[in-house]
Amino acid sequence: MDMLNKLNIYQIEKRAYINGEYVDASDGKVISKTLSFDGREFSGIAACSKEDVDKAVASAKAVYESGVWSKKTPSERKEILLKLADLMEEHLEELALLDTFETGRAYINYSRDSLPKAIEAVRYFAEAVDKLYDESIPVRGTDTAVIKKVPLGVVGLITPWNDPMVVTAWKFAPALLMGNAVVLKPAEQSSLSAICLGKLTKEAGIPDGVFNVVPGYGEEAGKELALHKDVRGVFFTGSAEIGKKIMEYAGQSNMKRVALECGGKGPYIVSDKCNRIAEAAVVLAKNMFYNQGQICSAPSRAIIHKSVYDEFISVLKSESSKYIPGYSFDETNEVGCVVSREQFDKVNRYIELASEEGADVFRPTVTKDKPEGAYCISPAILENVNNDMRIAREEIFGPVLAVIKVDSMEEAISIANDSEYGLAGAVWTDDVNEAFDLTNRMDAGLVHLNSYGNDDNSSPFGGVKQSGIGKDKSVHAFDKYCDSKTIWMHF
């Protein structure tokens, strides 16, 4: 059975989830868009406005203040979130189909990788929350200061479309577990799985109003959430351009806490002292071209020593032919298509720009038919690139890799760090001193040595410079969703 037909067995909910109920946008507006897996038109997801955001925030605030969630013990909240993770697992197929339908990413990628990771993230945070302690400081003989973690109150989450449930789980799980009430604004390209989550939170036992979903356009629903004076923190993943706006909204309104996970232009250095050139090329191709390069931490700038360049580029070109896009619902295909026609046009403009800037563009031979009506792009490897070109500086967010040849590792690290971004990067070398030196000097939140994309919920994820402020994942993420409060006690 075509997995797309399987979607028919599920009732697709398109309304907002506010105060425990599915509701239309108050002015009846809906999102209309073209789906990228076959070019069909799709309409009907509620496009929330200020009025809907106000309602969601008001219900979140009321339930937060009632204490039915915020005053539960961490172990009580843990049990409920573990139930939610179980329910997400039961609904894994439905969630994966919804995300594939809207974003065009391969179904098996969602069902085998992305959704299991989201569920594991919820379990990780749930299991961790009742192991946290407050602090007590015996300041003087007669005085003690207690430093408590207190929830922020109502928090807004604004998320992107490229890995919808994973990024959402990284935020809603620690936020809820710390006792906050959540209003989530998913990306307009990937709202259905977030909306579906609403009913699962109810079934898991999360009280009405504690978890709300306001789908809609960023300029309207997202902006109103980030400007709202009763929202105490806004936690955003998306582009650096919008991340900067979120900071402005916080400043214009109530100085709410802001955390940002933004884009990247990941440097991938291969040294002349690397003994596994072919492996370095294979790992790069996988991390760069899966999901059509729509990965924030993709290693999109390869910086290769001239003496290993020819071997490296030859393996890379041959590997790239494994990442030809296909029909998103085909269970044998790992590469779906890009998310939208706009993304398709944007990425293709960059490939044209590469030639205009003087780069050589390699595309692997495509032997299979392009899925009918789909917006998909085969990998592009750009050679003869220098780091001043726009194709080396700007995040393309497509299967487009810039390759820069260098004479030395000194030049390599200087190029790697010459970027507005600093999310993730890699160094491939078998010289231990060089490994120590370059991994320490690389200006990024996440650096891989002789590997890429290693991932675990226990390790923080996020960038420096314009890749963001604050980190998702790990026990440190809890701190983002609470304040510290000092209580002085005199005896």
The total of other beta-carbon atoms located within 10 Å of residue 135's CB is 11
Q: Taking CB under 6 A as the rule, does residue 49 contact ligand NAP?
A: no
**Residue 455 has what DSSP assignment?**
-
Q: Determine which residue in the list 217, 253, 362, 453 makes contact with ligand NAP, applying CB under 6 A.
A: 217
In the complex, minimum distance from the CB of residue 156 to ligand NAP, in angstroms, rounded to a whole number: 9
Site for ligand NAP in 132-161 (CB under 6 A): 158-161
CA distance 395 to 266: 9
**Residue 328 has what DSSP assignment?**
T
CA distance 247 to 260: 9
Closest to 299 measured CA to CA, from 459, 453, 109, 460 = 453
Q: Taking CB under 6 A as the rule, does residue 162 contact ligand NAP?
A: yes
Q: Which helix (H) or strand (E) segment is 102 a member of?
A: helix 92-103
What is the distance of C-alpha 397 from the center of its chain?
Answer: 12
Q: Taking CB under 6 A as the rule, does residue 187 contact ligand NAP?
A: yes
Q: Taking CB under 6 A as the rule, does residue 42 contact ligand NAP?
A: no
Judged by CB under 6 A, how many residues of this single chain contact ligand NAP?
32
Of 37-45, 71-79, 104-112, 233-241, the segment contacting ligand NAP by CB under 6 A is: 233-241
In the complex, minimum distance from the CB of residue 96 to ligand NAP, in angstroms, rounded to a whole number: 18
Q: Taking CB under 6 A as the rule, does residue 263 contact ligand NAP?
A: yes
User: Which residue's Cβ has the minimum distance to ligand NAP?
Assistant: 218
Of 70-78, 89-97, 201-209, 258-266, the segment contacting ligand NAP by CB under 6 A is: 258-266
Q: Taking CB under 6 A as the rule, does residue 397 contact ligand NAP?
A: yes
In the complex, minimum distance from the CB of residue 300 to ligand NAP, in angstroms, rounded to a whole number: 10
Of 71-79, 147-155, 217-225, 275-283, the segment contacting ligand NAP by CB under 6 A is: 217-225
Q: Taking CB under 6 A as the rule, does residue 237 contact ligand NAP?
A: yes
CA distance 212 to 45: 15
Q: Taking CB under 6 A as the rule, does residue 287 contact ligand NAP?
A: no
Q: Determine which residue in the list 97, 167, 175, 194 makes contact with ligand NAP, applying CB under 6 A.
A: 167
The total of other beta-carbon atoms located within 10 Å of residue 355's CB is 12
CA distance 468 to 126: 25
What own/partner pairs with CB < 8 Å and gap ≥ 24 does 197-203 have? Answer: 197/17, 197/88, 197/95, 197/165, 197/168, 197/172, 198/13, 198/17, 198/22, 199/13, 199/17, 199/22, 200/84, 200/87, 200/88, 200/91, 201/84, 202/20, 203/83, 203/87
Q: Which two tokens stand for residue 401?
A: 């890799």
Name which of 153 and 468 has its Cβ closer to ligand NAP: 468
Q: Which residues contact 251 (CB under 8 A, 6 or more apart)?
A: none
In the complex, minimum distance from the CB of residue 188 to ligand NAP, in angstroms, rounded to a whole number: 4
Name which of 281 and 295 has its Cβ closer to ligand NAP: 295
In the complex, minimum distance from the CB of residue 219 to ligand NAP, in angstroms, rounded to a whole number: 5
In the complex, minimum distance from the CB of residue 193 to ligand NAP, in angstroms, rounded to a whole number: 13
CA distance 467 to 424: 9
End-to-end Cα distance, the chain = 72
In the complex, minimum distance from the CB of residue 162 to ligand NAP, in angstroms, rounded to a whole number: 5
Place of tokens 């936020």: 175
Q: Taking CB under 6 A as the rule, does residue 468 contact ligand NAP?
A: yes
Catalytically active residues, by annotation? 261, 296
Q: Taking CB under 6 A as the rule, does residue 197 contact ligand NAP?
A: no
Of 121-129, 200-208, 232-240, 435-443, the segment contacting ligand NAP by CB under 6 A is: 232-240
Strands annotated E in 77-231: 135-140, 143-151, 154-158, 181-185, 211-213
Of 215-223, 282-290, 313-321, 475-483, the segment contacting ligand NAP by CB under 6 A is: 215-223
Of 2-10, 78-86, 211-219, 266-274, the segment contacting ligand NAP by CB under 6 A is: 211-219
CA distance 72 to 178: 10
Q: Which two tokens stand for residue 335?
A: 């590469």
In the complex, minimum distance from the CB of residue 166 to ligand NAP, in angstroms, rounded to a whole number: 8
Q: Taking CB under 6 A as the rule, does residue 346 contact ligand NAP?
A: no
- Looking only at the bridges linking them, the beta strands covering 380-383 and 360-362 are antiparallel
Name which of 250 and 302 has its Cβ closer to ligand NAP: 250
Q: Taking CB under 6 A as the rule, does residue 105 contact ligand NAP?
A: no
Q: Which residues bind ligand NAP (CB under 6 A)?
A: 158-163, 167, 185, 187-189, 217-219, 222-223, 226, 237-239, 242, 245, 261-264, 296, 395, 397, 423, 463, 468
